[in-house]
Amino acid sequence: MFLSRCELEPRLPGLQALVLVYHQRRPQNRSHRTPTHPPSLAQPAQVSHSLRSVLTDAPRPTRLRYWNLTHKLREEKIPMPETLCPICEGAGLRVVERADGTRAAQPCPCRIARRSSRMIEQARIPQRYAHCTLDEYVTNFAGANRSLATALVQARNFVRAYPFETNGNGLLLTGSIGVGKTHLAVGMLQALVADRGAKGLFFDYRDLLKQVQNSYNRNVDVTELEILAPVFEAEVLVLDELGASKPTDWVWDTVAHILNTRYNDRRTTIITTNYANLAPLAADQSSARSSVREETLGDRIGERMRSRLQEMCVVVEMTGEDFRQKVKRASFA
């Protein structure tokens, strides 16, 4: 015996959500023709066993409506998960009852999680750093410098304040190799994407310059502007290893183009560098000191751009021993 609509719909949360979405979008869907015959229940791969068993007892019009609405949403490129969520049955929406007794469709937590996962994939975080989160950032190992814990607190506060209190400013993480600058930058990027809904992008400074140089090759179809467009437009950009490439006039012009564009658009930029946040050697009048002093960020990107960074980013200085040498040496164990 067929189940009544009152008995069926409470057992089909996904169907209820699909019905609400369909009626909201109905004016856009009038051109679609309704299939005359519903497919076999075994056809839609996304139909769970529990939902299939309920649909088996459903009247034919209800089965047809479920399939037709699902088909329409797929045509609008709303992804259906391979493993169905027990809350929404794969619809991506759940039905909630408002205080006034009316019902409305709201995004299901599984849909929000899938969106965050897609946005993190689009951020182009290298596989090597995919595990890097703020929670995984270690500051309590033997011999750890206090500046690492302070940097972690600043990173968490930055994520919490984004975007209203940060006002388009970013962070400049400086320090010697192996203190965790890239880990912290990627951790902030993942948190900003997942928790704050920001559209982010990760780029290694050297790789970015090589891609721009490669665009000058006549055999390459992509242009310099096409390569730089995502860098300009990203809400949050992580630029790793700033200053790592040998400085030339072309490098300085390219860096200036990137930083000035993001500065003018008030877009957040998180930068890591191994070079001290100091003026170039040429600004030091002591030739004796110049001969022994290590290169600075001003040497690598030019003092004009280093000065611009002081206005774009809050400087976070990180000091300590090389974590990779001290704690995380490679092994087969």
- Distance of alpha carbon 44 from alpha carbon 46, whole angstroms: 5
8 A C-beta contact, residue 192 and residue 226: no
With a cut of 50, say whether residue 327 has pLDDT above it.
Answer: yes
Tokens of 100: 């006034």
Task: Give 316's strand partners.
Answer: 173
State pLDDT tens for residues 160-182.
999 999 999 999 999 999 999 99
With a cut of 90, say whether residue 5 has pLDDT above it.
Answer: no
pLDDT for the residue numbered 332? 66
- Distance of alpha carbon 154 from alpha carbon 165, whole angstroms: 13
Sign of CA dihedral 290, 295, 297, 300: positive
pLDDT for the residue numbered 87? 76
State the helix-helix crossing angle for 181-196 and 109-122, rounded to 10 degrees.
140
Q: How confident is the model at residue 53 (pLDDT cuts 50, 70, 90)?
A: low
The ranges assigned to domains in the chain are 5-113, 123-326
8 A C-beta contact, residue 90 and residue 48: yes
Q: Which CATH superfamily is domain 123-326 in?
A: P-loop containing nucleotide triphosphate hydrolases (3.40.50.300)
Backbone dihedral angles phi then psi of residue 219, each to the nearest 5 degrees: -85, 0
DSSP 55-76: HHTS-HHHHHHHHHHHHHHHHT
State pLDDT tens for residues 187-229.
999 999 999 989 999 999 999 999 999 999 988 889 999 999 9
Task: Give 103's strand partners.
Answer: 97
Lowest mean pLDDT among 46-50, 119-123, 133-137, 216-220: 46-50
8 A C-beta contact, residue 324 and residue 179: no
Residues 6+ apart with CB under 8 A from 185: 171, 173, 238, 240, 270, 271, 272
Mean pLDDT of 301-326: 91
Over pLDDT 70: what percentage of the chain? 68
